[in-house]
Structure 1
Amino acid sequence: MSENFSKLGFAKTYIYPALALFLIPIGCLVFYTYIQSTYDQQFLEAAKADIRNDQQLTPEEKGGLIAFYETFPPSRLIVSNQPGAAEWRELQDTQYLIEQYSLAWAVRISWLCIWAGIAAFVLTGIGVALSLQSQAMQYRSLWVGWHSLRLFCTLEVIAQGLLVFSLSFWIPAFFFSVYIIKVLLLFAIIALGAIGVVIAAIFKRPNDDFVVQGEILTREMAPQLWYDLEQLSSKMQTAPPDHVIAGIDDNFFVTQLPVKVQDKHEQVQTLTGRNLFVSLSLLKKLPGQEADAVLLHELAHFSGNDTLYSQRIAPLLARYDHFLQGLYEGGVSRPVFYFAVMFRALYEISLGSLSRQREFRADRLAAEATSSHDMAHALLRITAYSQYRAELEKEFFEAEEVHEQVNLSERIDGGFLAYTNSFVDKHNVGELATAHPFDSHPPLKQRLEAIGFRATPDAMRSVLYDESIGNWFQKIDDAELLEREQWTAYEEQFRQFHENILAFRYIPSNQQEQELVEKFFPPLTLTAAKNRPVSFDFEKVTYEDWDAPIYYREIESMTFENQWGARLDLVVKRNGKSKTIKLPLSKTQSEQQEVMGTLENYYGRAVSAIAYQKSLKEPEPMSPDEDRFSLET
């Protein structure tokens, strides 16, 4: 989440929706208070008439009784301990008492939800404010916040579920003097379903595996690299990493989270402890002192316990995000979801703030151990490389034809030096940030200014125009082979992914395009009702009882019906008119699911292709030229 939002934008996006937390309680409070007031008035009018007509009571006794009922109407007597309240309750009809008790408790639950919501807003604000103080306080506030909020949200969902269920009784009962069993059962199922989903989300462990493509560098594979890392670690006053992973990503990072390392043979090994990831492609382009600065920056995260607190915080965030999904899927729990999202958004501000402080600290320590020029030059080189790689990948991805091969690494190596001129001239360099899997990095301009570095565009070109191979790359045995193997695997994965994407873009206009689409969406014949065939291909579905096949572009909606036999009702628009065409389904559930799943997938592909081709024909909006950013002050 970006921190560059206006106060109004944040309020409209998070605060205002969070107020939906009070929607059901306040609505129920107003409704049930109105019912109580109506019933109290009806009771008082009947009681006054009976008292006045009672010839056995003296005027003083009549006045006293009327004053008592005016002070203590049924809505108060039902829960009061005042003298006479218990006797009054004993005289009432059982059903009347049950209704009064349900109203009283509905009002109490509504008030409880409202006051608990207000308290949650206040405590959330305090927790987020405290989390800005330090990493330790950030972890403690999130730990307390997670455990408190999941309890609050769960109880709030239960309470609001009860209120929604009570409405299903009282709305027809009060306005129409009836209650409908089917409606009560329906709302009971809805409320219980929401409660069940939310409770399950608390205890279900989310899949938060962190998988990295790369090769584990043992001391035998890179003895000089390990020796120099130990020297740098000593300079940074921290222990060296437990493991080093070499990959081809466009970043360096450290973590103490468990890392699943997948090698070129797709074998996975889990590493725990302090892990350092190095980019072979970047090590090849970083001169010695620049590489020292980058590695010292990463080691500084170890010395500052940044990775320790990330290790503690990450699982809490993963569980909280999983809990948010449960709140969203619960239906009735959606108002509570918006409140919980607001807390997550506020906490993201804290995470971003401290993350930037960590980056500034690591930059400063690395610059002090080398020089501000070395740190700044490394940041410029890494940013330019990341930008160039991203632009080439976008170019490959947006291509409308199948790639016989993706020569991404070759294009990067052959064109990087020429690219540096356009990078400095055309890009808003100061607003760019380096990639990172865990932390949000500040813009380059802020990082360079924080270490006291100033540079003109010409100086930046001079820094970037260096084609010497970095000496850290040469400290790894068979580094060229390791890098080439990883690029080969990555480029093939990229090619296959792009090929798959093309299948969602094409409305085939020739045999080659049709063959590609059919590679992923081949003609299929499945079983419908009474073992009769239903056939699918990339553009239509065919059934023998229909006059003509149904093309996916004709379908407006699909509905599953199981009354009088399972079937799909397809609303089709032809010649400007809509009509419903039925597809009877097999009685076997697995065959039903297979037909519906296939239709959904093939229809989804066709819709995506139609939308994509339409977007190509629409003119793109004009955008003003961006001003070139200069680091010169």
Structure 2
Amino acid sequence: MSEDFSKLGFAKTYVYPALALFLIPIACLIFYEYVQSSFDQQFFEATVADLRSDPTIAPEDKAAAIEFLQSHRLSDMLVSSHPQDVAFRQAQDSEFLFYQLSVVWAIRISWACILAGIAAFVMTGIGVLISLQSQAMQYTSLLIGWMTLRIFCTLEVIAQGLLIFSLSFWIPAFFFDIYIVKLIIVFACIALGAIGVVIAAIFKRPDDDFVVQGEILTREMAPQLWYDLELLSGKMQTAPPDHVIAGIDDNFFVTQLPIKVQGKDEQIQTLTGRSLFVSLSLLKKLPGQEADAVLLHELAHFSGNDTLYSQRIAPLLARYDHFLQGLYEGGLSMPVFYFAVMFRALYEISLGSLSRQREFRADRLAAEGTSPHDMAHALLRITAYSQYRAELEKEFFDAEEVHQQVNLSERIDGGFLAYTSAFVDKHNVGDLASSHPFDSHPPLKQRLEAIGFSATPDAMRNALYDESIGTWFQKIEAATILERDQWTAYEEQFRQFHENILAYRYLPANESEQELVEKFFPPITHVAAKDRPVEFDYEKVTYEDWDRPIYYREIESMSFENEWGARLDLVVKRNGKNKTIKLPLSKKQNEQQELMGTLQNYYARAASAIAYQQSQNEPEPSIAATDTFSFDS
């Protein structure tokens, strides 16, 4: 997650919304205190009037009774354990007691929510401060925080749900002397729905599988690589990895989390234990000592138990993020959601801080195992490679025509050296950071300075100028074939994805563009009421009862109606005026869903294409010569 952690930015983004946690309890406290005060006053006045009008009571007894009532409110007597107050309660009507005590308990619940919220704010702050001390303290603090917070949030949602439910009765009853059964039922359903969603989110297991594209390098496939890895592991005083995966991503990483490796045969194999991912494409670019430095950096994460704590913390964060989604979807739980988001954001500060400390430590150990120049040069080369690859991918992605071939690897290999000569001048290199699937890396300038490398433009240019094939790449038998096969598969996936994206960009102006759009959004016919056909294509929907088709660009809104038979009401804009056109639906639910699903998909494609073309400042092509209707999304 991305945060603005400046003092004012963090407060505006997280702290201020989190204060919404107190909105419902404080509002309820004010209301119920007012109700209770009114009841106390009414009881006092009625009782005093009865005393004064009773001729059988002596004046001095009346005075004593009135003085007692002035110092003993009704609300106090309802909760007091004094025998006289207990006797008073026992003498009251059960319905009277129920209503009075419901107000008392509403006030108590409001106070409990407020005080618990304050305690949660304090405990969150203390927990984050503790978590900054070490990885062990971070894990312990996050574990306790997660266990405590989910209980707090769940109880807070239940309590605030009860308060909202009680208001649905008491506001009409107190101000208008009525109660509305439907209103009470609606708010009861809202409260129960929020509670149910939140409780379900606690126990539902999140889908946190991590899938890696690559090939598992066995010792038979790369004996020299494994031998040298063991030597480097000994230098770093850690055990070698259990698995090595070779891919074409623009990074290296280690992990102890279970990962699913998908090879060229599309089969997925799950690996557990300590895994090292190496980039074949980067190993080919990195000279021997630079590759040593990068691999030592990754092995340092094993020696520092970084991957062990990541293995423990990652499931906690996944479950917490899943719990956040439940709070968000609960509706009534939104105030609690904002508080929980603040808790997550505060821990992101801790996670980011220790993550950067881990990276600095790994850089330092790698520089000590090779040299600061080797480590610095490797960081520069990897950053330049990632930037170049990203720029080329963006160029391919932004193209407005179908690619017959995406020769990304060929472009990288052929142009990387020339790119590096201008890389330092084109970019603010110090602000760039290398990519990583698990950790956030400090900016490059900070990492270079931390290992004592003077990051002058000339020094960076000299570091990047090398076109030899890396020695570690040559330690992998059939490395060239492995890399080529993975690039071939990746480039074809990229080409197909780009082709699909074009279908969401085009408002077809020629046959080839129309052919591409229809490849993904072909003409299709569904069944409406009485088995009558409804025809869809990429630009319009046609029904025989309409005087002309409805173009998706005309549709202002759609709604499903179920009175007097199921139908869709389509509000379209023609000649500057809105008009509702009805589409009666089949009685069969599966046919209804198929028709509405197609309409939503085809409409979304047209809306996306119109928005894209408008963003490109291109005039919208006319779909039909007689139609000049505009689409307002």
**What pairs up with 1:366-385 in 2 under 5 angstroms?**
366-385=366-385
Contact 1:3 1:349 in 2 (8 A): no
Report what 1:602 is aligned to: 602
Q: TM-score, normalised by structure 2?
A: 0.96
Shift of 1:12: 0.3
Contact 2:14 2:342 in 1 (8 A): yes
Contact 2:209 2:259 in 1 (8 A): yes
User: Aligned partners of 1:608 and 1:154: how far apart in 2?
Assistant: 39
Contact 2:429 2:445 in 1 (8 A): yes
Shift of 1:530: 2.0
SS in 1 for 2:526: strand
Shift of 1:263: 0.5
Structure-2 change in CA distance of 1:455 and 1:106 (3 Å): closer
User: Aligned partners of 2:78 and 2:48: how far apart in 1?
Assistant: 19
| Corresponding residue pairs, total | 619
Report what 2:212 is aligned to: 212
Q: Deviations over 1:229-272 (max 9, x none)?
A: 00000000000000000000000000000010001121100000
Shift of 1:405: 0.8
Give the AA of the match of 1:542. Answer: T
Report what 2:183 is aligned to: 183
Give the AA of the match of 2:472. Answer: W
Contact 1:376 1:448 in 2 (8 A): yes
Contact 2:558 2:570 in 1 (8 A): yes
User: Aligned partners of 1:603 and 1:66: how far apart in 2?
Assistant: 74
**What pairs up with 1:378-393 in 2 under 5 angstroms?**
378-393=378-393
User: Aligned partners of 2:171 and 2:579: how far apart in 1?
Assistant: 37
SS in 2 for 1:254: strand
User: Aligned partners of 2:7 and 2:417: how far apart in 1?
Assistant: 42
Q: Deviations over 1:473-525 (max 9, x none)?
A: 00000100000000000001111111111111111111111111111111111
Report what 2:622 is aligned to: none
Report what 2:475 is aligned to: 475
User: Aligned partners of 1:447 and 1:310: how far apart in 2?
Assistant: 21
Give the AA of the match of 1:205. Answer: R
User: Aligned partners of 2:337 and 2:10: how far apart in 1?
Assistant: 17
SS in 1 for 2:277: strand
Report what 2:52 is aligned to: 52
Give the AA of the match of 2:344. Answer: R
Pair 1:124 & 2:124 matched: yes
Report what 2:66 is aligned to: 66
Report what 2:626 is aligned to: none
Report what 1:629 is aligned to: none
Report what 2:423 is aligned to: 423
User: Aligned partners of 1:426 and 1:5: how far apart in 2?
Assistant: 28
Which deviates the most, 127-136 or 538-547? Answer: 538-547
User: Aligned partners of 1:45 and 1:446: how far apart in 2?
Assistant: 75
SS in 2 for 1:352: helix
Identity, in percent, stands at 80
Which deviates the most, 435-444 or 2-11? Answer: 2-11
Q: Deviations over 1:517-559 (max 9, x none)?
A: 1111111111122222112111111122222211111111111
User: Aligned partners of 1:550 and 1:183: how far apart in 2?
Assistant: 39
Structure-2 change in CA distance of 1:17 and 1:3 (3 Å): closer
Report what 2:617 is aligned to: 617
Report what 2:627 is aligned to: none
Shift of 1:180: 1.0
Give the AA of the match of 1:535. Answer: E
**What pairs up with 1:325-364 in 2 under 5 angstroms?**
325-364=325-364
User: Aligned partners of 1:615 and 1:375: how far apart in 2?
Assistant: 43
User: Aligned partners of 1:60 and 1:451: how far apart in 2?
Assistant: 92
Report what 1:31 is aligned to: 31
Report what 1:578 is aligned to: 578
Structure-2 change in CA distance of 1:149 and 1:290 (3 Å): same
Report what 2:299 is aligned to: 299
SS in 1 for 2:82: coil
Pair 1:286 & 2:265 matched: no
Which deviates the most, 176-185 or 230-239? Answer: 176-185
Report what 1:510 is aligned to: 510
SS in 2 for 1:472: helix
Pair 1:538 & 2:538 matched: yes
Shift of 1:163: 0.6
Give the AA of the match of 2:596. Answer: M
SS in 2 for 1:143: helix
Report what 1:141 is aligned to: 141
SS in 2 for 1:284: helix
Report what 2:235 is aligned to: 235
RMSD: 1.2
Pair 1:151 & 2:151 matched: yes
Report what 1:262 is aligned to: 262
SS in 2 for 1:84: helix
Structure-2 change in CA distance of 1:68 and 1:544 (3 Å): farther
Give the AA of the match of 2:563. Answer: Q
SS in 1 for 2:471: coil
Give the AA of the match of 1:266. Answer: E
Contact 1:264 1:485 in 2 (8 A): yes
Q: Deviations over 1:112-159 (max 9, x none)?
A: 000000000000000000000000000000000000000000000000
User: Aligned partners of 2:13 and 2:217: how far apart in 1?
Assistant: 46
Give the AA of the match of 1:318. Answer: A
Report what 1:631 is aligned to: none
Give the AA of the match of 1:131. Answer: S
Contact 2:162 2:191 in 1 (8 A): yes
Report what 2:625 is aligned to: none
Q: TM-score, normalised by structure 1?
A: 0.96
Contact 1:3 1:352 in 2 (8 A): no
Q: Deviations over 1:416-467 (max 9, x none)?
A: 0111122110100000000000000000000000000014322222221211
User: Aligned partners of 2:220 and 2:604: how far apart in 1?
Assistant: 51
Shift of 1:13: 0.2
Report what 2:166 is aligned to: 166
User: Aligned partners of 1:217 and 1:158: how far apart in 2?
Assistant: 52
Contact 2:506 2:609 in 1 (8 A): yes
SS in 1 for 2:438: coil
Q: Deviations over 1:39-65 (max 9, x none)?
A: 221221111111110111112211222
Pair 1:83 & 2:87 matched: no
Give the AA of the match of 2:393. Answer: E
Report what 2:403 is aligned to: 403
Report what 2:12 is aligned to: 12
SS in 2 for 1:617: coil
Give the AA of the match of 2:312. Answer: R
Report what 1:432 is aligned to: 432
Q: Which runs of 5+ in 2 are unaligned?
A: 620-633
User: Aligned partners of 1:61 and 1:171: how far apart in 2?
Assistant: 38
Structure-2 change in CA distance of 1:33 and 1:4 (3 Å): closer
Structure-2 change in CA distance of 1:596 and 1:68 (3 Å): farther
Contact 1:505 1:608 in 2 (8 A): yes
